Amino acid sequence: AILLTSNQSLGAWGDVFGDAVIASAILDRLLHHATTINIKGDSYRLREKRKAGLVRSTVTAHAER
């Protein structure tokens, strides 16, 4: 069994690897018979940093522009 996590969407893997064809081949092999789970929202680390005031929320940052 393999568990693979990424903070990049599958569509962005071409940019990550610098070649969309290679990224597509990698994803084809990884995702064959795979179960994917897409988790949306802030990570626990980011949430805790926001609570501590170390990172501004995106809502606050957009409002200041």
**Is the whole model's pTM more than 0.75, yes or no?**
no
Task: List, in order, residues 6 or more apart from 30 with CB less than 8 Å away.
Answer: 4
Does the pLDDT at position 33 exceed 70? yes
pLDDT, average across residues 40-60: 82
- The CB density around residue 57, as the number of other CB atoms within 10 Å, is 12
Does the pLDDT at position 64 exceed 80? no
At 36, list the tokens: 């994917």
In this prediction, residue 59 carries a pLDDT of 57
At 62, list the tokens: 């957009």
pLDDT tens for each residue of 7-29: 888 999 999 999 999 999 999 99
Does the pLDDT at position 65 exceed 70? no
